Amino acid sequence: MDDTLQDLLRYAAKQGVQLDGITPRRLPGRGYGMVATRDVKEGETVLTVPTRALRTLATVPKAISRKLDRDVTVHGILAAHLVLDDTGDDAAWDAVLPTPDDLEAGMPLLWPAKLRDLLPTPAKAALQKQQTKLTADWVCVKAAFEKEEEEATKEAKAKKEAKEEAADGKRKPWGLTKSNYIRAWLLVNSRTFYYTTPRSEAALPSHDDRIAMQPVADLFNHAADRGCKAAYSAQGFSFVADRVYREGDEVPISYGAHANDALLVEYGFILDENRWDEVSLDAALLPKLSSSPNDIWREDLEAAGFWGNYMIDAATPGGCYRTQVALRRLLAGTTGAVKRAAWQQFVDGGGDGDGDDDESEAIQDQVLECLDEMAETAHKTLAKIERLGKAGVGTDSQRNLLTLRWKQIEAMVAQAAKKLREGDEEEEEEEDEPKREMKKSKKETK
């Protein structure tokens, strides 16, 4: 174990943090993670973090929080505390936090604009929300603690101190610059746990404000559908093994049921295997739905709450319920009152009734058309990333991560199309000759 982790564990022990059967370690090519130091049984408590070890709104000095708590999110206040803290009390904890280079490699917020423009639709939407929240927090923090004319000087000083810190390994105040604040904000964004008390629940009505940072526990890596179970009480957090772990196994937790686009924007990584992953068809389907005279389709879908977020995943290659609603509206046309009423009945009934064979076939044809368009989009985007690489835009890590995401999308789209077409073939084999001829005739007359 390296000195940085040993310092962290000594610091954590003084705060009352207890590890039993696990320890943090560097994992090749993956930063830090938790590893079993012995065979761990299912149901064992492997880590406890007492309340006094947490960073919460209550632990932020009043000199900081009083200037911000009316205008800034708890997220933003915790970030401000990170950059303004000059006590050095948490230096051992701060030393294991991702570096600016680490964050730049994975966090799209820090990527060049030309790479951000190539993010998939859900990732772009998540990034826009992230940017909006960050900007609002930064504007208030800056106004409260920094004069405009001092920013350039402090930025230069912060860079000098960062070099000195790297040279002697000692924690120094970050200094309130925009780049330092963004780093702190992203650290809080990616490393906090949901946490509330009766007092904070009354004072903090927003779910997003009920958060805490905790040492050691923030080194757990994410697994899509398994991992230690986290629980908290007035005494603090506890982490319980969800299954048997053998000595040397990595011990993860689950951050939640997140698709890879969300993981990329919020945490700076994607999983090779993710049962919650999905692909948006918005780029292919929204233009079709926006083409009706006077935006009739869009108006109907917005009124019903079904505009956008049209997804496919491994379990629903034909599209989610939202997709089915949108395609049925498209197929109902713009002038047929009877068909439009039937569509409204479908929506009001929560999807009851599958429709006739012709409608189902037409919906599947539309889905396949969207899948083909998404496959083409993925192909073109990968080519653009390659060209940007040759032009020196972004880093290898950034481009590789973006490339991997689009290759995943390309593979998911191809798999969904294959499932749908194979399903057609199986149905045709089961049908008798008259039905096959009738279908063939209908297709030829379309």
Are 214 and 124 within one domain?
yes
**What is the token pair recorded at 119?**
């993010």
Residue 437's pLDDT is 58
Q: Does 440 score more than 60 pLDDT? A: no
More confident residue, 386 or 352: 386
Are 172 and 262 within one domain?
yes
In this structure, is residue 6 part of a structural domain?
A: no
Are 65 and 176 within one domain?
yes
Residue 195 maps to which CATH number?
3.90.1410.10
The pLDDT mean for the chain works out to 88
Q: Does 355 score more than 80 pLDDT? A: no
Q: Does 121 score more than 60 pLDDT? A: yes
Q: Does 168 score more than 70 pLDDT? A: no
**What is the token pair recorded at 378?**
């993925």
In the chain, the amino acid numbered 208 is D
In terms of residue numbers, what domain contains 326?
A: 279-445
Cβ neighbors of 275 (< 8 A, separation 6 or more) are 224, 225, 314
In the chain, the amino acid numbered 242 is D
In this structure, is residue 14 part of a structural domain?
A: no
Instruction: Tell whether pTM > 0.75.
Output: yes
Beta-bridge partners for 238: 48, 231
Number of domains in the chain: 2
Are 110 and 238 within one domain?
yes
Residue 224's pLDDT is 86
345 φ/ψ sector (left φ>0, alpha ψ -120 to 50, else beta): alpha
In the chain, the amino acid numbered 435 is K
Are 302 and 206 within one domain?
no
Are 65 and 157 within one domain?
yes
Are 225 and 298 within one domain?
no
In this structure, is residue 274 part of a structural domain?
A: no
Q: Does 62 score more than 50 pLDDT? A: yes
- Taking the CA atoms of 274, 33, 188 and 105 in sequence, report the sign of the dihedral they define: negative
Are 185 and 59 within one domain?
yes
In this structure, is residue 16 part of a structural domain?
A: no
Q: Which of 267, 301, 321 is the last residue of a domain?
A: 267
Residue 404's pLDDT is 98
Residue 198's pLDDT is 76
Are 260 and 289 within one domain?
no
Residue 287 phi/psi, 5° resolution?
-60, -35
Sheet containing strand 45-50, edge to edge, reads 18-19, 45-50, 236-240, 229-233
In this predicted structure, which of 197-201, 209-213, 333-337, 434-438 has the lowest mean pLDDT? 434-438
Residue 155's pLDDT is 59
Q: Which is nearest to 275 in space by CA: 323, 330, 225, 234? A: 225
Residues 299-340 pLDDT 10s: 999 999 999 999 999 999 999 999 999 999 999 888 888 888
Q: Which of 226, 244, 267 is the last residue of a domain?
A: 267
Q: How confident is the model at residue 206 (pLDDT cuts 50, 70, 90)?
A: confident
Cβ neighbors of 76 (< 8 A, separation 6 or more) are 68, 133, 136, 137, 138, 140, 141, 185
